[in-house]
Structure 1
């Protein structure tokens, strides 16, 4: 899809792995699950790379359980309880992302969040981080009937941000983010600095552009030459 250029009216970001680095909250949670099952710790990087797949995937990673296994609901609830107790303690914006938010504010362009994370975790996390400028639209998994890659959340963002989908850009660190953006008719940017699983190739996601660092985001959004690059 073509970059919206001068018609750009909004930017929407995925939460975990794109806007905010939340993985360091999940690492101790997964390690606690392992310890409670007398299992040795996992490499932190393996946990980080799984965060974007959600809580169920983290239970599978931690305990080699699958949905449908008898103990799965218990350990999913345990993981969410542990996460709720540590929520936001180690989370932070990815380096360079604040520059994008500042540039959007300077240009008078609102921004929003589309996440598969439930609002009971998303809203307290954002309150704790107190981002400025604040997002003008937040759409969580429990506020829509179908999660990403369905475009429902992004279409709701568009309505709340008062723009057409083609006037918005969506940024995400997972294939389903890019699929959701394309399904909504938005220009998409793959955040390849995020939580990419081993063996996954962001170049195959079909994104319109990629940002290898949070420092590249503003340039990709405003279609200018990056001032910083992860590969420079």
Structure 2
């Protein structure tokens, strides 16, 4: 194992977003939304329509399935139903992206800590990461601190739990809010370009410190491969 590149000699930890960065969960999210449509006599929507919204969870799935947004009448009831349906099937097809497990093993072999910071509630994030045996040293969910990304509080909480200064961390995510949160927390940032990204998103404009074209790219850019 090579040592860290000079630019990253200060690095002590890597924090990751979950959905669209470490795991491909869009299929199960879409299935929950389509099950709700079927219950109402509506035809299923194609997976390709749901996938770019995978990082937005219930908000993204319900927006596609029913053209409804938070704050509109009936949204909260639909959200509650969606979360219950998703919880029942969230292990069906969700898996780490190809190459993620070897990437994480490489970070650990280099002596770097790593953890997860996600807007997914702990109710889902903790059992899901346990079931997938990801081995994160810390998991901070969207309801852990009372703030969700792009607020920096969840990232700062993860660094605190690891006992590592924020400036010695890099945060990897597939949404612009991840880059905003990482920068606000004083961390370096990286875009997971294999992720969901959002509709018509131009991640080259997010001003991240690194853009990762594939799951093996992080170790290379850090100088570890």
Normalised by the length of structure 2, the TM-score is 0.93
Cα drift, residue 95 of structure 1: 1.1
For the pair 1:35 / 2:38, whether they are aligned, the reply is: yes
What is the root-mean-square deviation of aligned Cα atoms in Å? Answer: 1.7
Please name the residue that 2:88 is paired with.
85
| Aligned-partner SS, 2:139 | strand
Q: CA deviation at 1:70?
A: 2.2
Counterparts of residues 17-36 of structure 1 (less than 5 Å): 17-36=20-39
1:17 Cα offset (Å): 0.4
* Residue in 2 that maps onto 1:208: 209
Is the Cα–Cα contact under 8 Å of residues 175 and 198 in structure 2 kept in the other structure?
Answer: no
Q: Structure 1 unaligned runs (5+)?
A: 226-232
User: Could you tell me the TM-score, scaled by structure 1's length?
Assistant: 0.90
What secondary structure is seen at the aligned counterpart in 2 of 1:189? Answer: strand
Tell me how far 1:224 sits from its aligned partner: 6.0
CA distance in 2, matches of 1:25, 1:7: 38
What CA deviation, in whole Å up to 9, does each residue of 1:148-179 have, x standing for no partner? 11110111111111211111110000000000
Deviations 1:123-166 (A, max 9, x none): 111121112xx111111111112111111011111111121111
Contact map agreement 1:25 1:87 (CA 8 A) in 2: yes
Shift of 1:217: 2.3
**2:132 alignment partner, one of 107, 129, 133:** 129
CA contact (8 A) 1:4 1:167 kept: no
1:175 aligns with 2:176: yes
How far the C-alpha of 1:36 sits from its partner, in A, is 2.0
* Aligned position for 2:58: 55
Within the alignment, does 1:116 sit opposite 2:109 as a pair?
no
Cα distance in 1 for partners of 2:157, 2:7 equals 19
Please report how far the alpha carbon of residue 186 of structure 1 lies from its aligned counterpart in structure 2 after TM superposition.
0.8
**Structure 2: segments with no counterpart, 5+ residues:** 1-5
Q: Is the contact between residue 29 and residue 57 of structure 2 (CA under 8 Å) also seen in structure 1?
A: no
**Structure 2: distance between partners of 1:180 and 1:124:** 24
